[in-house]
C-alpha cells in the first residue's frame, strides 16, 4: 500500500536532512505508527507521502502512485488530517465539509454524519471562527474521512484534545481500520501508538531506529525490566532498570547492596521506556496532550 | 473539472460576502458611478428644447411652443453651435420636402421621435402627404468629465476583482487551507481558474453597471466586455502574485497600491499628454485599455482597433505573467 525506500529530505536543500535514509513498508489494512519526539521528522515524512512536500531523494509509492509524479487522481484514494487544524473560518462546519466534498470524483460520506461522529452536529451551522481549537481539530480530522480513503494519514490526531474526545477519535480510527483502511499515524504519544498501531517506527533526528510491533517490543524489553522503589536518605525514589543493560545492572546491584529497597517488581516496559533504551532520548510529550 | 472550478469560485464568493472589506469592494464601482453622475451637469427637464431659424413661419413656432421650449437663431451655423452645448436641444429647419432635425447624438431619451411626431401631426392637419423629416447628426460631444470619468472608473475597476482574489488567497494562506486543497483531487490549474474567475466577472459587472448608471446605453457592449476581460487579466496576475506572498489582508491591499500608479499614469497620461508624447505610455496595458474604452465611449471604435489594442494588452500581460509565474506557482504550494 505504501513503500518508502531511502528517503532523504532537506528543507535547505543541503546536507542538513530533516529526514535521513528512511525506509519502510506499510501493508494494506495496517496501522503504522511514527513515534518520535518533536522535530524528529514525522510531519516531514507525512508531507512527502501526501505530496505536500516535493520528493527530493528516494523512492515513495503511495496507493500505487509514484510520488515523483503525484497525480491528481491519487487524492481520491487518500485522506490527510493535519497537525494544525486548517478550515475556512468564514464558513460554517457544514459548509467546510460540503465544499471539500465537491472536490472528489469518488462517492463521499454525508457531511452531517461526519459532524455527528466528531460531536459537532449541534454547531454544524456555526462559523468555525467561533470554534475552539479542539473543535477545529475534530473538523479537520473528519474532513480527512470524507472520501472514505484507502490510505489515511493522521498527524497527531489526538494532540490537544481532552481525554474523552481523544478516546472517541481513537475508536473511530480503530473502526475505520477494521473496515479496511490503511493508516499512517504520526505521534509523540506512546499510549496512542501502543493502543492503535500494529507496528511502530521509532524516529529521531530524521532516522528510523527500529520498526516492530508494540507487542514484540514489550516482549523483547519488558520481561527484563525491574521497577524499584528505594530510599536515598529521606527521599523515596522510583526507577526502572533493564536487566540486559550493563550500566543498569550495575546500578541495580548497587541499590540492592545498600539495602534501602521499599518495593521491587518486574514490570512491562512502556513504549516510552523502550524508546529511551533504544534511542537514548525521551519522547518529551507534554502532560496536556494525551 | 467545471464542477471543481465552480466550487472554488462559489466558495470564494460566499466567504467574500461575509467580509466587509470585500462587500465594500463589490459595491465601490457602483457607488463611484453614482457620485460621478451627480457631478455631471445634466438637463433633466421633461420639456424638449428646439432651436429654429427666425425665418420659420410664426404659426409653426407657436405650434412648437405649445409642446416645447423654442429658441430662435438667425442662421444654421448658430443653431449648430447651440446644439453643440452640453444640454439637450434639437435643431429644426424647414427644407423643401419637409423638415430636418439636427441632433448631437448624446441627447437623452426619445427626443427625435417626439419631434418627428409633433411635426408630423402638424403636417397632417394641412396636407395629406407625410412630411419627410431628415435627421442629421453633427457629432457626439461629451462633457469631458463624463467621458474620461467613466473611462477611469472602468480601467480602475479592473483592480477591484483582483483585490477580491487577493483577499481570498490571503485567507487561504492565513488558515493554511491551501494544504488541504493540495491534498484534494483538484488540479492546480482548476484551483487557479476557480479563484481567478471572480477577477473577471466582477469587473465586467462593475463596468456594465457603471456605463448604465452614467447613461451610456448606446455603446458597443461586446467591445467593452472584451476590453475589460483583457485588462482584468493583468490585474488578476498581479493580484495572485501579491496574494501568495502576503500574510495578512491589510498588507496585501497595501501591496496592491503599487498597481494604482501605472493605472493613474496611463489614464491621465492618455488624457493630457500631447499626441507626440503618447508613445511614452505604450508599455502600459492600462493605456491600451484606456484608448479602447475612450473610442468605445465616443462610439468611434471599430473591431479592428479594439482587437489590436487587446492584442497589445495580452502581449504586455504575458511579459508580466512570465516574470511572476514562478513566484505564483511557488506561493501556492
Ligand atoms: N518548513 C520548514 N522549513 C525548514 N525546516 C523545517 C520546516 N519544517 C520542519 N523543519 C525542520 O525539520 C525537522 C523535522 O520537523 P518535523 O516537523 O518533521 O518534525 P515532527 O517530528 O513532525 O515534530 P512535531 O512532533 O513537533 O510535529 C525539524 O528539525 C524542523 O525544524
Ligand atoms: Mg509534526
Q: Which residue's CA is the nearest one to ligand 1's atom 5?
A: A11
DSSP state of A92: B
Say whether pLDDT at A20 is over 70.
yes
Interfacial A residues in 142-201 facing B (CB < 8 Å): 143
Query: Could you tell me which residue, A220 or A98, shows the higher pLDDT?
Result: A98
My answer on whether A146 and A250 are in the same domain is no
Query: Which residues have any ligand 1 atom within 6 Å of their CB?
Result: A 11, 18, 36, 38-44, 83, 188
A272 belongs to a structural domain: no
CATH of residue A190: 3.40.50.300
Do A191 and A100 share a domain, yes or no? Answer: yes
Torsion of CA A160, A161, A162, A165, to 10 degrees: -170
* Closest protein CA for atom 3 of ligand 1: A11
**Between B221 and A159, where is the model more confident?**
B221
CB contact under 8 A, A76 and B185: yes
Q: A14 is in which domain, residue-wise?
A: 2-214
Predicted confidence at residue A6, as pLDDT, reads 94
Strands A235-242 and A207-212: what pairing? unpaired
Mean pLDDT of chain A: 88
**B21: nearest Cα among B259, B250, B222:** B250
Q: Which residue has the higher pLDDT, B159 or B105?
A: B159
Chain A residues with beta carbon closer than 8 angstroms to that of B18? 90, 127
Selection from A176, A122, A121, A124 nearest residue A154 by Cα: A176
Give the pLDDT confidence of B175-216 residue by residue, as tens digits.
999 999 999 999 989 999 999 999 999 999 999 999 999 888
Q: Report pLDDT for A239.
A: 83
Give yes or no for residue B262 having a pLDDT over 60.
Answer: yes
Categorize the per-residue pLDDT at B303 as very low, low, confident or very high, splitting at 50, 70 and 90: very high
**Residue B136 confidence (pLDDT) above 70:** no
Of A48-57, A246-255, B98-107, B226-235, the least confident: B98-107
Asked whether the predicted pLDDT for residue A250 surpasses 70, the reply is yes
Q: Answer yes or no: are the C-beta atoms of A119 and A137 closer than 8 Å.
A: no
Span from the CA of A10 to the centroid of ligand 1 (angstroms): 10
A17 & A143 share domain: yes
DSSP labels, A202-256? EEETTEEEEEE-HHHHHHHHHTTEEEEEEEETTEEEEEEEESS-HHHHHHHHHHH
- A148 and A184 inside one domain: yes
Cell for B297?
465611449
DSSP letter (8 states) at residue B298:
T
Among the partner-chain residues B19, B177, B186, the one whose CB lies closest to the CB of A86 is B177
Q: Which pLDDT belongs to residue B329? A: 83
Rounded CA Rg of chain B: 26
**A206 and A260 together in one domain:** no
Nearest residue to B297 (alpha-carbon basis) of B112, B158, B142: B142
Q: pLDDT digits over B15-31, tens only? A: 988 888 888 888 988 99
Rounded to two decimals, the pTM is 0.76
Sole residue written with cell 500631447? B274
Q: Give residue limits of the domains in chain B.
A: 2-40+143-332, 49-123
User: If DSSP codes are grouped into helix, strand and coil, which group holds residue B52?
Assistant: strand
CB contact under 8 A, A103 and B171: no
Q: Tell me which of A12, A22, A42, A85 to substitute to probe ligand 1's pocket, judged by most ligand atoms within 8 Å of the beta carbon.
A: A42
* CA atoms of A273 and A199, how far apart (whole Å): 17
How many CA within 13 A on the CB side of residue A136? 21
CB pair distance less than 8 Å for B186 and A103: yes
CA pair distance A57, A7, nearest whole angstrom: 6
Helix axes B58-65 and B111-126, enclosed angle (nearest 10): 130
Ligand 1 atom with the smallest distance to the CA of A46 is 18
CA–CA gap between residue B254 and residue B246 (Å, rounded): 10
Give the mean pLDDT of chain B.
83
Distance, in Å, from the CA atom of B215 to the CA atom of B218, rounded to the nearest integer, reads 8
The span from the CA of A48 to the CA of A60, in Å, is 8
pLDDT at B138 over 70: no
Q: Is the pLDDT of residue B42 over 80?
A: no
Looking at A172, A192, A214, the residue that finishes a domain is A214
Whether A275 maps to a domain, the answer reads no
Location of C-alpha cell 518495593: A263
pLDDT tens digit sequence for A185-199: 999 888 888 899 999
**A184 and A243 together in one domain:** no
The residue that leads in pLDDT, B102 or A222, is B102
Ligand 2 mean position to A134 CA, how many Å? 17
Q: What's the A8 CA to ligand 1 centre distance in angstroms?
A: 14
For A143, the grid coordinates are: 474532513
- Which residue among B3, B175, B187 places its CB closest to the CB of A86? B175
Q: Considering its fold, how many domains does chain A have in total?
A: 2
Which grid cell is B175?
A: 488558515
Question: Is residue A140 pLDDT above 50, yes or no?
Answer: yes
Domain identity same for A25 and A165:
yes
Burial of A84 (0-12, 13-18, 19+ CB in 10 A): middle
Least confident of A14-23, A222-231, B200-209: A222-231
Is A262 found in the same domain as A193?
no
- CB within 8 Å of chain A, chain B residues 138-197: 171, 175-177, 179-187
Amino acid at each position: 500500500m505504501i513503500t518508502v525506500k531511502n528517503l532523504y529530505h532537506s528543507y535547505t536543500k543541503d546536507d542538513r536532512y530533516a529526514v535521513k535514509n528512511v525506509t519502510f513498508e506499510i501493508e494494506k489494512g495496517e496501522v503504522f505508527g511514527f513515534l518520535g519526539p518533536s522535530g524528529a521528522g514525522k510531519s516531514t515524512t507525512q508531507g512527502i507521502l501526501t505530496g505536500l512536500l516535493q520528493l527530493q531523494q528516494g523512492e515513495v509509492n503511495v496507493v500505487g502512485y509514484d510520488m515523483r509524479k503525484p497525480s491528481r487522481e491519487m487524492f481520491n484514494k487518500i485522506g490527510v488530517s493535519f497537525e494544525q487544524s486548517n478550515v475556512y473560518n468564514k464558513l460554517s462546519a457544514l459548509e467546510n465539509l460540503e465544499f471539500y466534498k465537491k472536490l472528489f470524483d469518488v462517492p463521499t460520506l454525508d457531511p452531517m454524519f461526519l459532524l455527528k461522529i466528531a460531536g459537532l452536529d449541534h454547531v454544524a451551522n456555526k462559523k468555525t471562527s467561533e470554534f475552539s481549537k479542539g473543535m477545529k481539530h475534530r473538523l479537520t480530522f473528519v474532513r480527512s474521512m470524507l472520501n472514505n480513503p484507502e490510505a489515511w494519514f493522521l498527524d497527531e490526531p489526538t494532540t490537544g484534545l481532552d481525554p474523552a474526545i481523544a478516546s472517541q477519535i481513537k475508536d473511530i480510527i480503530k473502526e475505520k481500520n477494521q473496515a479496511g483502511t490503511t493508516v499512517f499515524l504520526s505521534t509523540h504519544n506512546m499510549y496512542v501508538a501502543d493502543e492503535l498501531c500494529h507496528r511502530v517506527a521509532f524516529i529521531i533526528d530524521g532516522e528510523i531506529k527500529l520498526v516492530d510491533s508494540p507487542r514484540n517490543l514489550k516482549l523483547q524489553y519488558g520481561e527484563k525490566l525491574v521497577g524499584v522503589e528505594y530510599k536515598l536518605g529521606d527521599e523515596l525514589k522510583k526507577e526502572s532498570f533493564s536487566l540486559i543493560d550493563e550500566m543498569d545492572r550495575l546500578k541495580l546491584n548497587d541499590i540492592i547492596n545498600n539495602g534501602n529497597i521499599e518495593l521491587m517488581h518486574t514490570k512491562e516496559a512502556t513504549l516510552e521506556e523502550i524508546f529511551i533504551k533504544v534511542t537514548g532520548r525521551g519522547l518529551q510529550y507534554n502532560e496536556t496532550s494525551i | 473539472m467545471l464542477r471543481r472550478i465552480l466550487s472554488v469560485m462559489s466558495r470564494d464568493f460566499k466567504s467574500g460576502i461575509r467580509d466587509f472589506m470585500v462587500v465594500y469592494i463589490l459595491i465601490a464601482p457602483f457607488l463611484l458611478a453614482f457620485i460621478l453622475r451627480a457631478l455631471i451637469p445634466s438637463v433633466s427637464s421633461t420639456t424638449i428644447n428646439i432651436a429654429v431659424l427666425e425665418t420659420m413661419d410664426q404659426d409653426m413656432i407657436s405650434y412648437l411652443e405649445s409642446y416645447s421650449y423654442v429658441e430662435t437663431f438667425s442662421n444654421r451655423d448658430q443653431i449648430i453651435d447651440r446644439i453643440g452645448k452640453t444640454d439637450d436641444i434639437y435643431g429644426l429647419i424647414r427644407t423643401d420636402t419637409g423638415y430636418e432635425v439636427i441632433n448631437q447624438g448624446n441627447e437623452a431619451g426619445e427626443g427625435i421621435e417626439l419631434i418627428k411626431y409633433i411635426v408630423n401631426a402638424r403636417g397632417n392637419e394641412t396636407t395629406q402627404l407625410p412630411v419627410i423629416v431628415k435627421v442629421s447628426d453633427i457629432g457626439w460631444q461629451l462633457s469631458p468629465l463624463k467621458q474620461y470619468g467613466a473611462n477611469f472608473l472602468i480601467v480602475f475597476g479592473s483592480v477591484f476583482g483582483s483585490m477580491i482574489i487577493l483577499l481570498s488567497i490571503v485567507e487561504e494562506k492565513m488558515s493554511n487551507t491551501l494544504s488541504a486543497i493540495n491534498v484534494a483531487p483538484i488540479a492546480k490549474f482548476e484551483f487557479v481558474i476557480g479563484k481567478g474567475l471572480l477577477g473577471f466577472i466582477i469587473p465586467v459587472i462593475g463596468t456594465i453597471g457603471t456605463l448604465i448608471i452614467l447613461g451610456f446605453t448606446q455603446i458597443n457592449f461586446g467591445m467593452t466586455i472584451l476590453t475589460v476581460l483583457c485588462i482584468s487579466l493583468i490585474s488578476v496576475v498581479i493580484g495572485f502574485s501579491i496574494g501568495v506572498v502576503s500574510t495578512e489582508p491589510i498588507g496585501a491591499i497595501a501591496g496592491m497600491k503599487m498597481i494604482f500608479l501605472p493605472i493613474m499614469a496611463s489614464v491621465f497620461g492618455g488624457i493630457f499628454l500631447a499626441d507626440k508624447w503618447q508613445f511614452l505610455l505604450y508599455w502600459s496595458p492600462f493605456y491600451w485599455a484606456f484608448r479602447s474604452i475612450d473610442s468605445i465611449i465616443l462610439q468611434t471604435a471599430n473591431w479592428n482597433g479594439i482587437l489590436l489594442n487587446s492584442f497589445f494588452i495580452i502581449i504586455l500581460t504575458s511579459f508580466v505573467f512570465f516574470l511572476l509565474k514562478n513566484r505564483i506557482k511557488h506561493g501556492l504550494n
